[in-house]
Structure 1
Amino acid sequence: MKRKSLMSILLVLMLVAIMATGCSSSPATSGDGKKLDKVVLQLKWLPQSQFMGYYVAMEKGYYEDEGIQIEILPGGSDIIPEQQVYNGVADVGVTWVSSLMKYQSEGWELLHVGQIFQKSAMLLVSKASSGIESPSDLVGKKVGSWFGGNEYEIFALLEANGINRNTDLELVQQDFTMNQILNGTIDAASAMTYNEYGLLLAAGLDASEINVLDMNDEGVAMLQDCLFVNSDWIKNNEDLFVRFLRASIKGWADAVADPEAAGQIVYNVDQSVSLEHQVYMAKEVAKLVVPEGFDPAQIGYIDMDAVVQTAEHSYTYGLLTSPAVISEETITSKYWEEAVK
């Protein structure tokens, strides 16, 4: 009995080893048997319509069409995309341009290679009853910020209007709900057009009951969601990245053209919020990727004037300790130009 039991155990171990070896040695293949090159994409936040273009491209097989097996890693409050890409956990990352500039200024060899959001989504919102209709009305008020790098457009707004952020108002740590503005514990709150503003509407406020200070209208906008890579990785993977970017742009074009379908695709990935809110986000994100008057064929285009403005604000208002270096070593459009040919 002991000999039979030992033999059985050995046979099981052999089978497990054979199966493990077979799994590890088999490369991913497409439906027609062609080998796929793997690309790992690190998001800035949890799966939501903010990133809908990548999920649409994955769902519709655009990455596979380009010979790519895509893996999309969700972000979170404890995940820093720059670290993930720099350390090789991911090949491509999504982050805000100002954040990327900070890491670049500290010597991290990361390269800005595509710009998905052409406008800032940052707002300061308040109840109409607060009387905050212009930046000057913020004086003496409690203003919410998430901080952690999200505060610099607010700093720019205040500075541009001669408001001292240390003495003229009170900046308050804001949570990731809109309860503080709803219950009146703060007077104005940070909000993204595609998320928190919609939460106020969902909470029962009418648009006429919400005052909005839009960073784009106030002339202090800073660029947000961009694509970046490790400078060493891209040297050996230029063609692979161009294929990734081409598939991503195609996914973004479809998402912008049909945000309701895109919202459904994202909802199917992660049902952390309602389908209604994912669709709301998708519609608002579409306005950032293809703003009014922007050519959809230019999705991913890097507007250098907007980059320079972001760099200037980042330095002036304390995110950067020295002016950002804008050169071919930190930012390039050459892969985008190749992808959209």
Structure 2
Amino acid sequence: MSREDTMKHLMKRAMAAAFAVGFAATAAQADTIRIALAETPSDELAAFFVALERAKANGLEYEWTAFSDEELAIQAVLSGQMDIGFGTPYAAMQRSKAPIRIVFQLSKLKFFPVTSQKYEKLEDLDGEPIMLHSRGGGTDSIANVIEEKYGIKFGERSYVPGSANRIVALIAGQTDATIVDLSNKNKLMKQEGDKFNVLPMFEVEASDEALFANLDWIQNNEEAVNTFVAALVSTWQDMSEDPTIISRETNPDGPIGQLPPEILGNLDTFYTDAVEGGLYDPNGGGEKAAMADLEWYSGAGQLEGDPSELNIEDFWYLEPLKAATQ
């Protein structure tokens, strides 16, 4: 069975499961929202967990499960196993016809091609293997757009989740080219900048990570979703004013508080660099992000059709964000 056939089969199963649980979901407001993370808790998720703590203080109960990659998180929401997921499921939304909608942009696609000194510009990567985060994810879409913009074709693509893990692979000589986030790019260049190159890269405003859910579930749990989105907006806005708010509000008994001291001690630097680098929209993206996403993911081959003719409301549900930012 080809990968495309396998994905179609999974989508059909997910839709059937989603239909089966749909009636139960409409009965009442959810007592606890179930969140599908696309990776294990890390410094990159510290702001998200601060927002969760704020939402909990306002009466929202939650539980989370960390999946090994974005595709599994998407499938968990499609099947009804989870309520809210991490990712940018544009291809799944369009192909499955499931009423999945994005409600908040968590971060933008601020990633950087980093290579050994064999390469000096993106065109040098024509035919060369590259290591990316996940199949169909943000770095995969960046690679697709690089190919289109520069008229090149990467060689074999391998997938290793986590920018930090791909940096380790680069240092160990397991790859000569990868795409990593702002924080890990900065760490690499500070520690071993004389051994690696950061290739010139075009600006991207599209979403890297977003929160999405089934529209029926969103509308049947309006109060919980509004509380959650309001907490996210307040956290992102406070962070844009003072990035150290994240370390100060991190729960020492929560999943971020249990991370190694060297990571916790670097939270202020991480979020200061991220805010200065434009990684976060303090207003959660909204229509501006949705338009950028349609253009980007169409160019990346994950959406079919002219982006100017696609309807934002088929992919985003903006009401909770509008309520939180008024």
Output the CA distance in 2 between the equivalents of 1:211 and 1:226.
Answer: 29
**How far, CA to CA, are the matches of 2:231 and 2:204 in structure 1?**
32
Percent of counterpart pairs with the same letter? Answer: 19
Q: What is the distance in 1 between the residues matched to 2:202 and 2:103?
A: 27
User: Over residues 284-329 of structure 1, what are the superposed CA-to-partner deviations in whole Å (9 max), with x where a residue is unaligned?
Assistant: 45655675598x7x3313253x433432343344323445643323
Change in CA separation of 1:224 and 1:181 when aligned onto 2, cut-off 3 Å: same
Q: Please report the TM-score for the alignment, with normalisation by the length of structure 1.
A: 0.70
**In structure 2, which of residues 162, 176, 185 is the aligned counterpart of residue 187 of structure 1?**
176
Contact 1:289 1:299 in 2 (8 A): no
The answer to whether 1:229 aligns with 2:208 is: no
Structure-2 separation of matches of 1:310 and 1:153: 12
Question: Which residue pairs with 2:112 in the alignment?
Answer: 123
1:82 CA displacement: 2.1
Can you list the C-alpha shifts for 1:250-293, whole angstroms capped at 9, x where unaligned? 33445553166169648951588633235546644565567559
Q: Give the corresponding residue for 1:114.
A: 104
Determine the structure 1 residue equivalent to 2:81.
89
CA deviation profile, 1:127-167 (whole Å, cap 9, x unmatched): 3x32x3321232354432344113121121122012234xx
Q: Distance in 2 between matches of 1:149 and 1:309?
A: 17
- Distance in 2 (alpha carbons) for counterparts of 1:243 and 1:228: 15
Matching residue of 1:315: 298
* Contact 1:116/1:226 (8 A) holds in 2: yes
Which structure has the larger Rg? 1
Where do residues 116-155 of structure 1 align in structure 2 (5 Å cutoff)?
Answer: 116-117=106-107, 119-127=108-116, 129-130=117-118, 132-139=119-126, 141-150=128-137, 151-155=140-144
Give 1:275's match in structure 2, choosing from 256, 261, 268: 261
- Aligned with residue 68 of structure 1, among 47, 50, 60: 60
Query: Are the counterparts in 2 of residues 255 and 261 from structure 1 also a CA contact under 8 Å?
Result: no
Unaligned runs of 5+ in 1: 1-35
**Native 8 Å contact 2:69 2:134 kept in 1:** no
Q: Secondary structure at the match of 1:116?
A: strand
Residue 200 of structure 1, aligned match among 174, 188, 194: 188
The answer to whether 1:243 aligns with 2:227 is: yes
SS of alignment partner, residue 80 of structure 1: helix
* Number of the residue aligned with 1:327: 312
| Cα root mean square deviation, aligned | 3.5
Deviation for aligned residue 1:230: 0.7
Cα contact 1:94–1:226 (8 A) shared by 2: yes
| SS, match of residue 73 in structure 1 | strand
State the SS of the aligned residue for 2:213: strand
Distance, in Å, in 1 between the alignment partners of 2:246 and 2:300 is 38
Between the aligned partners of 2:252 and 2:305, the Cα distance in structure 1 is: 39
Q: 1:209 to 1:267 in 2, by over 3 A?
A: farther
Distance 1:110 1:164 in 2: 32
Q: 1:137 to 1:267 in 2, by over 3 A?
A: farther
